[in-house]
Structures are given as structure tokens and as C-alpha cells.
Amino acid sequence: MGKFNFKVLLLLSCGHMVVDIYQGALPAVLPFLKDHLDLSYTMAGVILIVSNITSSVIQPIFGMLSDRKEKAFLLPLGVFLAGAGFSLLPFTPSYGLVLMLVAISGFGIASYHPEGFKTARFFTGPKVATGMSVFSVGGNTGMALGPILALSIVNFFGFQSLWWMAGPAALFTAAIILLRRKAAIPKPERAAMARSSSRASRKTYAALFVILSVIVMRTWTQMGLMTYIPFYYIDYLHGSPVLAGKLVSALLIGGAFGTLVGSPLADKWGHRFWLRCSMLCCALLFPLILWAQGALLFLVVVVFGISLISTFSVTVVMGQNLFPNNLGVASGLMVGFAIGAGGIGVTLLGVLADHFGVPAAMKCIGVLPVIGFLLTLALRYPVAESGKEAGELQPHAG
């Protein structure tokens, strides 16, 4: 593993931010796209399903392609496709073309993530989770900026001006092409990967299954709260819509902060230990979300976001540690497939809300971190040659 290289990680993080801008912006512009083509709610929902499948669920496929042979071109190509597919949406005359452009943008997003996480791994130095958090926070920032940028353009200049969103993709594509040598995986590291041919054990696959299950619980919790906090505080508690929106923002802001703060602690105290602490804290904090009010409620939501999302980079690193010869596939599974699968759970929460009410759905969300914590208790990391668990770094002296 090479030395920590902040400049390269920052460059890759910027690319991560750009591709996730388009992923975050699509739901925000969906109402305008619906009016533009006079779509039904079902047709609009299909657009999001296509986006979820192409941008998240299929990421392991791109990871597999990346692992067979280094494919650095996936970085600029992924950003270009993500921006091009999204920015052409205002000019689509038909629903079929919309689905095709959404798929193209999704393929771009899906292709960037495994290659990006794989490349970033080689510039993190010994503190892998800390370095990976620099790359990951770009995605958090992009998801937050996407709706703001897209809605600002539409509100001030109209839906037809959405093509201006191509700007970030064009700028980064040019930058990564110009700096491609600096951002390439070092030759010694590529040679070491080519020589390595160890096979994973059953314990390794068992650990992978547990980690993926925890990620599904984490994602289901996050997306469930983002979806049902507005319904709960507006429709059930008759609160202010502005307050509900600020609560969702508070959750995401806390998550971005947690990504940066939690990873160094995980490197110091152990990745598995930090994952357990995160799920336990979320399980204990969630009842306060249903009880607290005013400023205390915002504080609880921020702390909950910090705790919940602080393990995002950590679980990616854990997956990569399990499969060091298949970093692309491991990254695709941790980031894309698991998150996509967790997102599907929000649909099940919708069924519960329809039959038993939004409060029941909110209470069910609170059960998910408990399940996640119990799963971490069953997690057994493979034993490294040193006799200590892989990925479990010892605390520094003092």
C-alpha cells in the first residue's frame, strides 16, 4: 500500500461528488419531467427504478470488469455519461428516450464508483478508512448539492435550461484526463495484484454476507427516515413543512460530518468495533427522534446521522479487506448492490404506512438498527496471518 496522497484523493473525491450530483438531482427534477411529458405517477416511479438499478444494483458488474484489468478510463467515461444522460433530459420527446437517458446516466454513475473506490484505496496509506473517507465525503456532498443546483436552474431559468448541469461533468472529465498519470494506480501495486491469486474461504463469504446485511439495515434506516420524517411531522404531528425539510438536511449534514470523523476512530479502535458502536448508538438514539422536540430534536437527528453514516467508508474498507484481490467487486457490492437493495426496503415501509399508518412505519424503522447491531455481534472477520483479525487495527499507544 502506498503513502497517503491527499491531492489524488481530493481529485477522486471531486469526481465522486460530480457523479452523485446527478444521482441526487434526478428525484428533484422528476416532477418537472412528469409535467413535461404528462407522465403518470407510475411512469415517474419507473424512472427512479431504472435509475436505482443502473446506478446502484449493477455496480458489482463494473467492479468485476475493473478487477480483470485496470480500467482507468472508467473514471472520465463514468462522469461524462452521468452528466450527459441527465443534462439531455429536457430535450426528450418521448418516455422511452427518457428511460434510455436515465439508464445511460446510471451506467456512468455505476462505472465510476467501483473504479473510484479501488483507485482511492491505493492512495490512503496505512489508515485506509481515514483516506477512504476523503473520497466518500465527495459523494455525500454531491447528493446534497444535486437537488440545490438542479432546482436553482429550473426555478430561475426554466426546465429547458437544465442542460447547464453538464458543466460539472465536462470540467471534471477534462481534469481527470489531464491528470490521469497522477491518479493512476502505481505499477508496483498493479503487479502485486496480478501476482496474488489467493482464494476466499467460507468464513470470508460468511463475513461478507453479514456486512452486506448490516449495510442493508443501515441504508433502509437512512432512506426510511429521509422519506418518512416529512410525512410524520407534516401529516401526523401537523408540523411545519419547512421544519421537516430541515430535519432531513440535518440528517444528511450529520452523515457527511460522520463520514470524516468516524473513519479515523475506526482506524484507531478497529473497524468491526466501530460498526458495532454505530449500530448500537443508532438503536439507542432512535426513540428520542419520536420523543424530542424543538432544538433538541435537531440535535438528536444530527447525532443520529453522524452515528449512522460514520461507517460508510468503514464497511467499504472491510469488504476490500475481505477480498484484496477483487477490490472492484468488493467496492461495488458494499456501495452499489447493498445500498440499492436497502433502498428497495423503503417500498415495504410504504406498504406498512398504507395499512397501519406513518407512525407504525416510523417505529419499524427504529427496529432496523437493532437488527443491524445483532448482526454485528455475529460478524467474524477472517483471521490474518498475524493471528489478529483482518481490518482490526490496534489502538495507538497513549
Mean pLDDT for the chain overall: 84
pLDDT digits (tens, 9 = 90+) for 93-139: 999 999 999 999 999 999 999 889 888 888 888 888 888 999 988 98
User: What's the DSSP call for residue 393?
Assistant: P
Q: What residue ranges define each of the domains in the chain, with the CATH number in brackets?
A: 6-195 (1.20.1250.20), 202-377 (1.20.1250.20)
% of the chain surpassing 70 pLDDT: 89
pLDDT at 392: 43
Closest to 377 (Cα-Cα) out of 272, 224, 287, 255? 272
pLDDT > 60? residue 388: no
List all residues 6 or more positions away from 248 whose beta carbon is below 8 Å from its beta carbon. 225, 226, 229, 230
pLDDT > 70? residue 384: no
Rounded to an integer, what is the distance from CA 338 to the centroid of its chain? 10
Residue 321 exposure: Cα atoms within 13 Å on the Cβ side: 26
pLDDT at 391: 40
pLDDT > 60? residue 243: yes
pLDDT > 70? residue 342: no
pLDDT at 232: 82
CA–CA separation, 389 vs 381, rounded Å?
A: 6
Query: What is the DSSP track for 184-205?
Result: SPPHHHHHHHHH--PPPPHHHH
List all residues 6 or more positions away from 140 whose beta carbon is below 8 Å from its beta carbon. 20, 252, 255, 256, 259, 309
| Joined grid coordinates for residue 65 | 470488469
pLDDT at 91: 92
CB–CB of 308/282 below 8 Å?
yes
Q: What are the residues facing 389 on neighbouring strands?
A: 383
Q: Please measure the distance between the N-terminal and C-terminal CA atoms of the chain and give it in whole angstroms.
A: 25
pLDDT digits (tens, 9 = 90+) for 53-86: 899 888 988 888 877 766 778 899 999 999 999 9
pLDDT at 84: 96
Backbone angles phi, psi at 383, to 5 degrees: -80, 125
Backbone angles phi, psi at 234, to 5 degrees: -95, -55
pLDDT digits (tens, 9 = 90+) for 136-179: 889 888 988 888 899 889 888 998 999 999 999 999 999 988 88
pLDDT at 311: 94
Residue 68: exposure state from Cβ atoms within 10 A (0-12, 13-18, ≥19): exposed
- For 203-229, what is the mean pLDDT? 89
pLDDT at 393: 40
